[in-house]
Homo-oligomer: A and B are copies of this chain.
């Protein structure tokens, strides 16, 4: 399981939600981390552009950072749009004050100067403050082409220029630099040229197959252009990351997303190069899977491609059986038809016709043979000795249960020979063979879904009859022993164990909506087969 880490972003706010702290916080959440924020400036912004900016006073920027750092254990920090020289200084001051004499967590500096839509987001005089005061504290700086050009006062137009620029950028003070190549046109041949001139560079190709993955290769003109990013680390090692360029207008907030994903990966304890690989892949997928109906301009990335809605709520003390509850409430009407069946009600009143009870008990005897075989199949499908043990323990219970059935039958004048020779009813065959078919079709969990409608339903019936004292007659009821068996300790313990097994199965391998639908279908089918079983006995159908 992923451990949640806390991250602080110091950046601007984007009302449109695609960039700024909004993109950062969404990225942290998508990656399973907790985000805090200090806002340097508000923008009234949408996918078409920036309509207005409201700078936050430097003292308030500093106060926000302090409030977060004083209370939270922060595992990584990122800076985005710092707006002006004063807010850049306020940021540096807040960090230096808090971390004086303490180790500062990794700091990712995204030197945001201009928005995707072309709006200037950093006052020119702030650049020198950023270089002289913030970069020396920085673990990783993540400029794009124009930001690197501004920082170095020279133009960068080729992959070779990029590699050279990372050398000079690292001299400005950060421990490492990731120069982003999104705005530089490169082809596979350009990459080849760069790598043959720089054999020392490590290369990471993402979405570009090779190395014994020929069968997965994709080709086509759309894969001709690449995005190449260059990472240079403190030891001067260079990693070149290449992936196919995506032709997309959903790129609003790409830089924010990347630097947030970097901070998140560093908070999780990844090395710089691992963090860069994960964060660039995350960002690339954010563009590739973006919703295109958000705003009419440069739309935001999809930050949530890495998560899915859960189909089953978590187990909590107040709701320890959320999965079973979902199954039962999901088809409450058919569950009620089953557990409140007329057969059950007549049985509770002691007025069920004797012939119906005999038919039930005889058919149940046949059904239990299927049921024992299905549990044997469950044992054969079980991955551990404990699961094999609990399945065979249930078979043991069933073998004892049939003794009770034989005794019952004796009381009701049916000999064991007669019991054995009575043919199965259609309801018994349908239910029994359905269990076996599910056992062949699916895995152990799916078979459990089929087996539990019987276990849990009889447990519910037992408790209901026991609790409904006003109309249920126990004294002199010819079926009293049946009621006491299913409300008794042994069956209720089996119910408890069954609930634990099914909840554990659903919690340890949370089902996707599709799988949940499959499981529900099995549960519902068995619930109906139970009703049919009682119908059959009540109406003496064969």
Whether A181 sits at the interface, judged by CB under 8 Å, is no
Which 7 A/B pairs are nearest by Cβ-Cβ distance?
A: A46-B71, A44-B63, A214-B463, A15-B64, A288-B316, A307-B307, A207-B318
Contact residue among B71, B72, B215, B509 (Cβ-Cβ distance under 8 Å from A495): B215
Whether A390 sits at the interface, judged by CB under 8 Å, is no
Contact residue among B306, B325, B510 (Cβ-Cβ distance under 8 Å from A213): B325
Whether A152 sits at the interface, judged by CB under 8 Å, is no
Write the nearest CB–CB distance from A533 to chain B, whole angstroms: 18
Q: Which residue of B lies closest to A317 (CB)?
A: B222
Contacts of A436 in B (CB 8 A): none
Contact residue among B57, B68, B339, B508 (Cβ-Cβ distance under 8 Å from A16): B68
Contact residue among B25, B73, B328 (Cβ-Cβ distance under 8 Å from A25): B25
Whether A417 sits at the interface, judged by CB under 8 Å, is no
B310 near A285 with CB under 8 A, answer no
Whether A396 sits at the interface, judged by CB under 8 Å, is no
How distant is the Cα of A512 from the Cα of B295 in the complex, in angstroms?
Answer: 33
Q: Which residue of B lies closest to A71 (CB)?
A: B46
A460 near B214 with CB under 8 A, answer yes
Q: Which residue of B lies closest to A223 (CB)?
A: B318
How distant is the Cα of A16 from the Cα of B319 in the complex, in angstroms?
Answer: 29
How distant is the Cα of A22 from the Cα of B20 in the complex, in angstroms?
Answer: 12
Whether A45 sits at the interface, judged by CB under 8 Å, is yes
Q: Which residue of B lies closest to A47 (CB)?
A: B71
Q: Interface digits, A342-360 against B, CB 8 Å rule (1 contact, 0 not)? A: 0000000000000000000
Contacts of A464 in B (CB 8 A): 212, 214
**Which of A29-37, A169-177, A426-434 is near enough to bind chain B?**
A29-37
Write the nearest CB–CB distance from A448 to chain B, whole angstroms: 13
B72 near A60 with CB under 8 A, answer no
Instruction: Enumerate A312-344 residues with CB–CB distance to B below 8 Å.
Output: 313-314, 316-321, 324-325, 328-329, 332, 335-336, 339-340
Contact residue among B71, B289, B324 (Cβ-Cβ distance under 8 Å from A314): B289
B13 near A13 with CB under 8 A, answer yes
Whether A113 sits at the interface, judged by CB under 8 Å, is no
Write the nearest CB–CB distance from A20 to chain B, whole angstroms: 10
Q: Interface digits, A173-208 against B, CB 8 Å rule (1 contact, 0 not)? A: 000000000000000000000000000000000010
**Which of A48-56, A131-139, A258-266, A477-485 is near enough to bind chain B?**
A48-56
Contact residue among B300, B309, B325, B442 (Cβ-Cβ distance under 8 Å from A216): B325
Contact residue among B22, B32, B44, B305 (Cβ-Cβ distance under 8 Å from A66): B44
Contacts of A99 in B (CB 8 A): none
B25 near A440 with CB under 8 A, answer no
A39 near B13 with CB under 8 A, answer yes
Contact residue among B25, B212, B512 (Cβ-Cβ distance under 8 Å from A460): B212
Whether A67 sits at the interface, judged by CB under 8 Å, is yes
Whether A297 sits at the interface, judged by CB under 8 Å, is yes
Whether A380 sits at the interface, judged by CB under 8 Å, is yes
Number of copies: 2
Instruction: Enumerate A248-286 residues with CB–CB distance to B below 8 Å.
Output: 281, 285
Q: Which residues of A contact B (CB under 8 A)?
A: 2, 4, 6, 13, 15-17, 22, 25-26, 29-30, 32, 34-39, 42, 44-48, 51-52, 54, 56-57, 60, 63-68, 70-73, 207, 209, 211-216, 218, 222-223, 243-244, 246, 281, 285, 288-289, 291, 293-297, 300, 303-310, 313-314, 316-321, 324-325, 328-329, 332, 335-336, 339-340, 380-381, 383, 440-444, 446, 456, 459-460, 463-464, 467, 495, 499, 508-512, 514-515
B71 near A324 with CB under 8 A, answer no
The interface residues of chain A, by DSSP majority, are classed as: mixed
B37 near A13 with CB under 8 A, answer yes
27 CB-based A-B contacts, threshold 8 Å: A13-B13, A15-B37, A15-B67, A25-B26, A29-B30, A29-B303, A32-B304, A44-B66, A46-B68, A52-B60, A54-B56, A71-B295, A71-B296, A213-B328, A213-B329, A214-B464, A215-B495, A215-B499, A218-B318, A288-B314, A288-B316, A288-B319, A305-B314, A307-B309, A381-B440, A443-B443, A508-B514
- A305 and B295 in contact, given A22-B25, A214-B460, A318-B246 (Cβ under 8 angstroms): no
Contacts of A57 in B (CB 8 A): 54
Contacts of A441 in B (CB 8 A): 380-381, 383, 443-444
A45 near B67 with CB under 8 A, answer yes
Contact residue among B73, B303, B442, B463 (Cβ-Cβ distance under 8 Å from A381): B442
- A60 and B42 in contact, given A213-B325, A325-B213, A495-B215 (Cβ under 8 angstroms): yes
B17 near A25 with CB under 8 A, answer yes
How distant is the Cα of A296 from the Cα of B6 in the complex, in angstroms?
Answer: 14
How distant is the Cα of A515 from the Cα of B509 in the complex, in angstroms?
Answer: 6
Contacts of A15 in B (CB 8 A): 36-39, 64-65, 67-68
Contacts of A442 in B (CB 8 A): 381, 443
Q: Which residue of B lies closest to A304 (CB)?
A: B29
